[in-house]
Structures are given as C-alpha cells and as structure tokens.
Amino acid sequence: MLEQAGVEFAVRAPDFDENQAKQAHSLDGEKLARLLAEGKAASVTVGPNDWVIGSDSIVIVDGVRYSKPRDRDEAAAHLRAFSSRTMLLSSAVALAGGGHVDWTHAETARLEVRPMSENFIQAYLDAEWPAVGLCVGVFRMEGRGVTLFESVEGSHFTILGMPLLPLLGALRARGVLQS
C-alpha cells in the first residue's frame, strides 16, 4: 500500500513480542490493534529525523479473537467458525519518532461472512494456501478472499490491514509527504 501511494520506506523488523501483548490484554479489537501498532512502531530504532510506521490487525467473531492460523487445518477451522457470522476486523497504524509514539489511528470494518460449505473451504484453501496463512482472518481481499463475504462496511484500506488515508494525512502534517 505504501509503495503504491508513493511513500518511500524501508522494512525493519520490530523488537516487540506481540504474542505476549495479546495474552496480557483482553482489550476490544481497536484498542488491541492500536496497542500492537504502537508497540511495533516504538520498538524500531532509527535516525533522529526518521519516522517509524507500525500497524496491526485484529479479527473478532462472536466475541472470539482470532490470530493468524498456525497451519492449514487451523485455517480451515477458522473459516468454519467464520461461516455465516459477522467478522469485526480492526486495523491500527502508529507513527513513532525517537522511540516515542507521536500519532495513532484505529478503525473497524464489519464483514458479513457468507455461508461456506466444507467443499468451498477446501477448494479455497487449495487455491489460496499458504498465502492466506499469513493473514488474520484467512483472506486477502485483493485475492479470492473477496468471495468469503456477502457484504462489507468500512474502509478498503482498513480491511487490507492499515488505515492508509489517515496515515497519509499524518505524514503530510509532519512534512514527510508533500501537501
């Protein structure tokens, strides 16, 4: 998303244990996504004039928080649990400079998952695995994941994993992007 928006960036792995943070908090989706994005952004060391972008997404279905599946069997179990349910997908983004979070934003999209047969789930995973194994919610909206849903309410970018438009505004406000 950043590349397509013309934002120059370098990827650096955060020094942040998101699993520990998830286990320590029973926050709602937006609050937890924000906490994870902030933790990732603040944990990356960069130069004094550089900004770090951290982001994360949380999926909740029927009050249960889902993480990325560990394997294909767990991915299929997630899809079975999502069938005919409402998925709340919360994504957050944070900006940090000098190890301190300067700005955050979180949004939640509501996705109505259609009924899915076992044959559909297996065919979907045949086509999309292992790529969807890296995705919370076991889907890529820019791929065949769009076929999982009856309706979607919320920002397309939030569903892709990062509230991009608010981030671009924050980068313009800080002089990183031209306004």
Catalytic residues: 56
Vertex 100: Cα angle to 97 and 106 (nearest 5)? 90
Distances (CA, A) of 98 to 27, 46, 50, 95: 27, 7, 8, 10
**Burial grade of 126 (CB within 10 A; 0-12, 13-18, 19 or more):** exposed
What is the C-alpha to C-alpha distance for residues 156 and 91, in angstroms, rounded to an integer? 11
